[in-house]
Amino acid sequence: MADTALITGGAGFVGSHIVRRMLALDWNVVVLDDLSTGRRANLDEVAADIRFVEGDVRCLDDVRGAVEGCDAVLHQAALPSVPRSIADPIASHAVNATGTLNVLVAARDAGVRRVVMASSSSVYGATPGLPKRESMPTLPLSPYAVSKLAAESYCRSWFDLYGVETVALRYFNVFGPRQDPLSAYAAVVPRFIAAYAAGEPPVIFGDGEQSRDFTYVANVVDANVRALESASAAGGVYNIACNERITLNELARELGRQMGSRVVPVHAAPRPGEVRHSLADIGAARADLGYEPRIALAEGLRATVAAGVANVAVSA
């Protein structure tokens, strides 16, 4: 009989990609999502192959009902965005920290073997020096980053105290198809693509010389699958990225080139709580998970542009 995985936030951007990979690997899949940021449409192609539970990670009973009978949890449910967390820190804490605690309590009580949790590179915050290594201190700058660091700490304590195998993956700026460009808190890649597709100038907050280690979603999915199986990963924290840095000005130029747009980006005031530079050392993930970013930035951007332009055409 196939093992069963609960994917929290499975109707969201990253979660819906993980759902498809787990089905392809012949896992039984349960999705828990409250549809606050995820969309049922993200799962339309696989709806008949999964058990969908509409519920909230902030409600322990909802999580208990979804996790019953599961062997593993891929915990993707979160309230993303640094600016959103600054505007509403209580909501970010409730979903990201308390929600993770509920997942861990329910997983422990249900006898789940392993919980893989989506953390964030934002936990490094103001820590100086590049590339970022897991051994570095954490100096989070935003409530979002604080909530993710708290969730990581709960994972570690669950491994130490209760023997629940936990793995926290620090995602670096994930992008790819099905990432929402319309939210007020949309990430930079879908925002830029949507702006160029509409013939409008993309907005760059600050001078645009801030740099990021953008990570195509398929690489993140690979990391999650590997984190489920790696014997040496239990209790660990790992950077998941491409170890490749680009400035936002360079990103805007590359996307404009790929989309054949001559629209010139505009600049707005910098946003508080955001890190100036980000670059991951992925040596630990290579060693313990066998992780290797299969899809480089340029290739991932091409796939995302193709998907984004198709979505614009469909909705027009």
> Which of 124, 144, 154, 238 is an active site residue?
144
DSSP letter, residue 94: I
User: What is the structure's pLDDT at 309?
Assistant: 57
Tokens of 207: 């001078």
User: What is the structure's pLDDT at 111?
Assistant: 98
Q: What is the pTM of this model?
A: 0.94
User: What is the structure's pLDDT at 312?
Assistant: 42
Cα angle 158, 96, 90 (rounded to 5 degrees) comes to: 125
Q: How would you label 33-68 residue by residue, b for 16+ Cβ within 10 Å and e otherwise? A: bbeebbeeebbeebeeebebbebbbbebebbbebbe
First to last CA, the chain: 45
What are 94-123's pLDDT values in tens digits?
999 999 999 999 999 999 999 999 999 999
pLDDT < 70: residue spans in the chain:
1, 185, 309-316
Instruction: Identify the CATH number of the domain defined by range 4-173+217-243+279-294.
Output: 3.40.50.720
φ/ψ of residue 38, rounded to 5: -80, 170
Residue 252: count of CB within 10 angstroms of its CB: 23
Instruction: Identify the CATH number of the domain defined by range 188-210+245-278+302-315.
Output: 3.90.25.10
Q: Is there a shared CATH topology between the 4-173+217-243+279-294 domain and the 188-210+245-278+302-315 domain?
A: no
Whole-number Å distance between alpha carbons of 49 and 131: 41
DSSP letter, residue 139: B
Whole-number Å distance between alpha carbons of 125 and 156: 20
Tokens of 45: 């192609």
Asked about 144 being catalytic, the answer comes back as yes
Whole-number Å distance between alpha carbons of 108 and 145: 25
What are 122-153's pLDDT values in tens digits?
999 989 999 999 999 999 999 999 999 999 99
Whole-number Å distance between alpha carbons of 248 and 212: 8
Domain ranges within the chain, ordered by starting residue = 4-173+217-243+279-294, 188-210+245-278+302-315
